[in-house]
Chain A
Amino acid sequence: MNGLIQRNSPLTEATYYILISLTEPLHGYGIMKKVDEMSHGRIRLAAGTLYGALNTLLSNKLIKSVGEDEENKRRKLYLRTELGTELVEYEIKRLSEMVGNGIKETRSVYK
């Protein structure tokens, strides 16, 4: 476990969704659509947040640039790196524990 993961955790909901969506190469617009679908329309990624997150993720080497869209060259494609996947796994563990504890505690209290 390295310091970079500690420093980036906890991820904001938006950054978490951006990072998990990049299992396949996607451009900004593709990320917006995929996150919208995954969250059943609950999360509409805002442009400024997406821009800021892509920059931070790039400079922390959690994602990488992998070329551009064939139809529109202004749309660059991104993909999660191994380090990015490590961070996602760390977050999944942390969040599962959070949810698990929540269920356990509230059910024992309110039953």
Chain B
Amino acid sequence: MIKRVRKWFWAWNDDKEEKFLEDMAADGYKLKNVSIGMYEFISSEPEKVRYQLDFKGINRMSEEEYLQIFEDAGWECVDTLGSWYYFRKAYDEEAPDISIFNDNKSRLEKYRRIIIFLFITGFPIYYQVLIMFPNLDREEFNYPGFFFFFRIFVTILVVIHAAAMVMLIVKIVRERRSIKE
């Protein structure tokens, strides 16, 4: 039996998302796939599972090699969502809180990869809102009504995008401050 759950997590709440998936597994729902704002589970025996989310980002290492490293470390890749990778491992009593990171420096490095990714992908929409829109003459368009809504849509996107970058930077700064290594 397949169970669909609608839920939304922001990138800086990935630890809450992991916890949510672990709780679902404990209730007998094994993650099958992930899409934007939607999780699909299969009914299974309730089990203790460890979930970890990683963000690969933009760099030279191929996806094949990336997944091989995780597989070699015993992680099963359940599904991907853009550059997000959902990893799963059976619960081990000797390492109940096993993580895909050894230290906080590399854990925070993940959020830095997200910010760089957002920065690169965000450029086209920022260009539209800040440079293209103010310089456009509305009379030139065949469908000014459509363009009006399109402009509102893209502007909302830019606001969310900018807020996400700010939140991620805040998260990194805050955690850095609270960590004493």
Residues of A bordering B, CB below 8 Å: 12-14, 28-29, 32, 43-56, 58-59, 72, 74-76
B44 contacts the other chain (Cβ, under 8 Å)? no
- Bound complex: CA A45 to CA B107 (Å): 13
B110 contacts the other chain (Cβ, under 8 Å)? yes
User: Chain A residues with Cβ under 8 A from B87's Cβ?
Assistant: 47
**Which bucket holds chain B's interface residue count?**
20 to 34
Evaluate contact between A14 and B103: CB separation under 8 angstroms.
yes
User: Chain A residues with Cβ under 8 A from B70's Cβ?
Assistant: 47-48, 51
A-B contact count (CB 8 A): 84
Shortest Cβ gap from A28 to chain B (Å): 4
| Contact residues, B100-156 vs A (CB, 8 A) | 100-103, 105-107, 109-110, 113
| Contact residues, B55-82 vs A (CB, 8 A) | 56, 59-62, 64-70, 72-73, 75
Mostly, the A contact residues are helix
13 further contact pairs, Cβ within 8 A, besides A52-B110, A74-B62: A12-B105, A12-B106, A29-B69, A32-B73, A43-B102, A46-B98, A50-B69, A51-B69, A52-B113, A56-B109, A74-B64, A74-B65, A74-B68
Shortest Cβ gap from A40 to chain B (Å): 16
Shortest Cβ gap from A98 to chain B (Å): 15
Some 23 contacts from A to B, beta carbons below 8 A apart, are A13-B103, A28-B65, A29-B69, A32-B72, A45-B73, A45-B102, A46-B102, A47-B75, A47-B87, A47-B100, A48-B54, A48-B99, A48-B107, A49-B102, A53-B106, A54-B61, A55-B61, A59-B59, A74-B64, A74-B65, A74-B68, A75-B68, A76-B65
Shortest Cβ gap from A99 to chain B (Å): 18
Shortest Cβ gap from B110 to chain A (Å): 7
B109 closest partner in A (C-beta): A52
Evaluate contact between B68 and A49: CB separation under 8 angstroms.
no
User: Chain B residues with Cβ under 8 A from A75's Cβ?
Assistant: 65, 68, 72
Taking a contact as CB atoms closer than 8 A, the residue among B56, B99, B109 that contacts A46 in the complex is: B99
Evaluate contact between B69 and A49: CB separation under 8 angstroms.
no
The 4 closest A-B pairs by CB, nearest first: A48-B100, A47-B73, A29-B72, A49-B106
Shortest Cβ gap from A60 to chain B (Å): 13
Evaluate contact between B60 and A58: CB separation under 8 angstroms.
yes
